[in-house]
């Protein structure tokens, strides 16, 4: 379809030239032919579609392959492009390099003061790839920088276009790719600035970062309680407990499996190691279910002694329950880390979350359902009351457990307490 559009545009501008089937030398390889055809199309389409084709080529999935329509990655990208207004641009310079995104300093990237508002979404994609580069995590996964970049780009697409119960391609107000990156950045902060970097080997660190980036994939901005009250089909598929978390984990594992077939993030691992990595990611994502809050904290208390022994022995945790408990606690705290950010960032996230709650309240009112707590616009619950209550009843206990069991994380608890005073 894209090639036809490009050909029509080029034919209008150069009626004496045929672009239907360029004459290629007999010795030209199939790969080179695909690249040349792609260059003709790439030079004439909108930047968003150009980016789609660039990612498509990196995945080795091509629009001329009839079997590609059955491929999950291809299907989602095709849906993205079908939703675009693919008007054509004048022919561009085929040799023009893509825009370069400069890395930020490792100190800024690992700071809790890192401000997502100062970065475009494309820059955040590059920042996540920088996590892997700075920590040299690709080496243990046998994953190239291109594989990491492809994975991040695919996850961003899923957050933007794969949201449950949402037909348009607009990202969510709070639960979106930016939130996912923010959670991953909090994990990166703990890896670099606390004993987490000693407790987790590089594969464990990669597990934590991948789980963080994927932990809300497919989130439509509605809570588990709303899905249950509205008899959403997801509750029949995944159950009424942790419905969304099971959806997030399911989409993540599907993405990792599909990419493995195309030289993706885990393609360099053995089948056994890949399965274990995905299982660890799945368990960490499922632990973000707030209904399991107390369970996760209790498990951390049980295994804190094993964490201390590992630190004393200067050895990372082996695979097992103690390692799983640590990953679960870290991702849980990272998921709610907006209350541990500097005040202005914390308030920014609180405002977004309240707006998303209000939109759920609007939906509940339309459906004749009881309006959930903090979701009514009419009651006008203050942000201070909402966040203050969250800190008192949930966040404080989580960061207290983290500070007690993981050396080097007590500064997070201090910031939570400072913010609690500010929300008073």
Q: Which residues are catalytic?
A: 175
CA neighbor of 207 nearest in space, from 315, 123, 103, 287: 287
What are the CA-CA distances from residue 266 to residues 143, 257, 316 (Å)?
7, 8, 21
Return d(Cα 36, Cα 20) in angstroms, integer: 12
CA-based radius of gyration for the chain:
23
Within a 10 A sphere around the Cβ of 26, how many other Cβ atoms? Answer: 4
For residue 375, give both structure tokens: 């979701």
| DSSP letters for 349-369 | HHHHHHHHHHHHHHHHHHHTP
Return d(Cα 295, Cα 89) in angstroms, integer: 55
Residue that is written with structure tokens 């276009």 in the block: 161
**Exposure pattern of 329-360 as b/e (b: 16+ CB <10 Å)?**
bbbbbbbbbbbbbbeebbbbbbebbbebbbbb
Within a 10 A sphere around the Cβ of 369, how many other Cβ atoms? Answer: 15
For residue 324, give both structure tokens: 């799983």
């Amino acid at each position: 379809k894209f090639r036809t559009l490009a050909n029509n545009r080029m034919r209008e501008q150069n009626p004496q030239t045929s672009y239907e089937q360029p004459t290629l030398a007999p010795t030209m390889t199939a790969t080179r032919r695909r690249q040349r055809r792609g260059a003709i199309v790439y030079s004439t389409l909108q930047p968003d579609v150009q980016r789609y084709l660039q990612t498509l080529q990196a995945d080795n999935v091509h629009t001329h392959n009839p079997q590609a329509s059955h491929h999950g990655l291809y299907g989602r990208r095709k849906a993205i492009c079908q939703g675009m207004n693919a008007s054509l641009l004048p022919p561009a310079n085929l040799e023009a390099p893509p825009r370069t995104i400069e890395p930020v300093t490792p100190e800024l990237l690992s700071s809790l003061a890192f401000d997502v508002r100062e970065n475009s979404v494309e820059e955040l994609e590059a920042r996540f790839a920088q996590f892997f580069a700075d920590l040299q995590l690709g080496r243990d996964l046998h994953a190239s920088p291109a594989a990491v970049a492809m994975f991040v780009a695919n996850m961003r697409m899923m957050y933007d276009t794969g949201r449950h119960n949402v037909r348009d391609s607009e990202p969510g107000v709070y639960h979106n790719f930016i939130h996912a990156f923010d959670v991953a950045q909090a994990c990166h902060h703990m890896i670099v600035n606390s004993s987490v970097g000693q407790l987790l080997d590089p594969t464990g660190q990669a597990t934590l970062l991948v789980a963080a980036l994927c932990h809300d994939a497919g989130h439509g901005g509605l809570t588990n309680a709303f899905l249950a009250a509205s008899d959403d089909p997801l509750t029949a598929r995944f159950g009424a407990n942790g419905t969304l978390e099971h959806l997030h984990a399911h989409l993540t594992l599907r993405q990792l499996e599909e990419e493995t077939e195309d030289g993706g993030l885990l393609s360099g691992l053995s089948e056994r190691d890949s399965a274990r990595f995905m299982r660890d990611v799945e368990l960490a994502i499922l632990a973000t279910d707030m209904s399991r809050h107390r369970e996760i904290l209790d498990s951390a208390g049980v295994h804190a002694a094993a964490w201390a022994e590992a630190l004393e022995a200067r050895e990372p945790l082996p695979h097992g329950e103690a390692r799983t408990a640590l990953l679960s606690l870290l991702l849980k705290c990272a998921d709610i880390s907006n209350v541990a950010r500097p005040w202005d960032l914390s308030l920014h996230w609180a405002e977004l979350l309240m707006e998303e709650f209000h939109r759920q309240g609007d939906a509940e009112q339309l459906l004749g359902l009881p309006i959930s707590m903090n979701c009514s616009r009419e009651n006008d619950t203050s942000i201070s009351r909402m966040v203050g209550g969250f800190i008192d009843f949930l966040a404080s206990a989580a960061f207290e457990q983290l500070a007690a069991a993981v050396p080097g994380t007590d500064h997070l608890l201090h910031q939570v307490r400072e913010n609690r005073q500010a929300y008073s």
